[in-house]
Chain A
């Protein structure tokens, strides 16, 4: 490399007169690493002092205070009715026009004026509640659901992370849509179960009654386009997150929806799957005291059993002992050789 170029860079950085601009440009355009080198020099010269680090938590707290405050302000406007009367008439006219426009030209109405309700179940807790339209939702443990306190005029939308069973109140005018990860489930009125646990590779939609549409959203790099399938009762759709494919199959009712009636279902489950399931179901924390000696798959149903009973039966099959201290369970696997002695 030409010695001159270093001279030119030095002069360009320090603001010295007469750096050979055209020669510098020529060098910069030769390749990307020349550009990177020169830019890193510029960055370095711009920061005489050591770059400070932002106090992240403090700044976020201030932002949060301001945006929360902003919401309260909107709600707090309370003026006598008559001050508004004239305005309301005008606003109504405009609003009707707007709603018409939005409905006709914009399928996805973005809204954030109404309150969003968020229900979160920690591990070990299930819940049941009714939405404003009469739909009943049973939310499994370690799951979250969000919905507006009042639905839109033309659709009912909720977001689910985790597992829930829906009994949707029939309303042909307003389809009920569940967003869970990449999967959108649309129904008019029916009952079905959705399992969309963030860490699992699969999202499952199982229909008990009625008819359901399941769509994968076309927003990943690898997807071959939008996929939509229709499910009848006793059919289950399984979406694989890494392959972006929806498969249809049949299912046994209790295996999928048993949880809502207190049935803990294990089907061909290995130890790690069992561990996750018990932790979510009972809100406990399970640790292994030693490395595993026995591998095996378990298939079993437990009807509203306390965790001790479940552990007893597993301990026998999977050859382990356990100790329980409040919510902490430690499992020690029996050494088969020692056992023999």
Chain B
């Protein structure tokens, strides 16, 4: 809906200006307070990105540390950066791959390395939305019929194929296929419902915002 998008864009534009101001303070005055604000704003998003790639709590924290130290070190070159969030995202991602490459065989961990798969985490707002929806999905999975839940969890957690899952549960692959379909359908329905509720909430927020503008 047009007006609904409008307000989000407004908020985003204002936020981008805020970020520029913070960067300016850091670059010109070595402002540690502004740097802390920058950290507060972005650490959680970048941590989620790093953790998703590298699947280790400790490593992800080290990467966040490195990324912010780098941000501090390059503070006289901020004006070369077009979009600061894209920059943060890219630096974080690259750092994950560097770290992974530098590992000895002993500590080898599996990483999610399909870059295309991460395209929905490029902005902090999106990432927070998916984190929120993730907990909704977990809730929704909890409500699935027992048989359906068993099949869904087995496949998601072990990554086994329909055929292997069928063997393990001694049912036909067709049963697995139909149980998976039911699971996805029910969960998708719940997410859709939740999103619609959120949209209404946003619209109400917008209405009260316009009333606020009107009164002032």
Contacts and interface: CB of A to CB of B under 8 A. Distances in A.
Interface of A: 3, 6-7, 9-11, 13-16, 33, 36-37, 39-48, 51-52, 54-56, 58-60, 62-64, 66-67, 70, 110-112, 116, 146, 148, 157, 159, 219-221, 242
Most buried by B among A6, A43, A45, A47: A43
Contacts of B92: none
Contact of B64 (A40, A54, A242): A54
A46 B112 contact: yes
B159 interface: yes
25 contacts: A6-B188, A7-B177, A10-B180, A14-B155, A14-B162, A33-B192, A37-B192, A40-B134, A41-B137, A43-B121, A43-B130, A51-B51, A54-B43, A54-B61, A59-B61, A59-B65, A60-B43, A66-B65, A67-B69, A70-B72, A112-B30, A116-B30, A116-B31, A159-B25, A221-B13
A3 B181 contact: yes
A60 B14 contact: no
A204 B17 CA distance: 23
Contact of B134 (A51, A56, A111, A220): A51
Nearest to B195: A33
Given A110-B27, A219-B17, 12 more contacts: A10-B184, A14-B162, A39-B120, A43-B131, A44-B133, A46-B112, A52-B51, A63-B65, A111-B28, A112-B30, A157-B28, A242-B216
B39 interface: yes
A63 B69 contact: yes
A64 B43 CA distance: 14
Interface of B: 10, 13-14, 17, 20-21, 25, 27-32, 35-36, 39, 43-44, 47-48, 51-52, 57, 60-61, 64-65, 68-69, 72-73, 75-76, 79, 112, 117, 120-121, 129-131, 133-134, 136-138, 155-157, 159, 161-162, 177, 180-185, 187-188, 191-192, 195, 216
A70 B35 CA distance: 15
B137 A46 contact: no
Given A9-B188, A67-B69, A45 B156 contact: yes
Contacts of B44: 54, 56
> 3 closest A-B pairs (Cβ-Cβ)?
A40-B133, A10-B180, A43-B130
A42 B52 contact: no
Contacts of B216: 242
Nearest to B165: A14
Contacts of B155: 14
Contacts of A159: 25, 29
A293 to B, nearest CB: 27
A102 to B, nearest CB: 12
Contacts of B183: 10
Contacts of A36: 129, 133, 191, 195
Contacts of A67: 35, 69, 72-73
Contact of A16 (B64, B161, B191): B161
Contacts of A157: 28
Given A10-B183, A56-B43, A43 B64 contact: no
A112 B27 contact: yes
A16 B151 CA distance: 14
Contact of B28 (A7, A58, A59, A112): A112
Contacts of B134: 40, 43-44, 47, 51
A219 B21 contact: yes
Contacts of A33: 192, 195
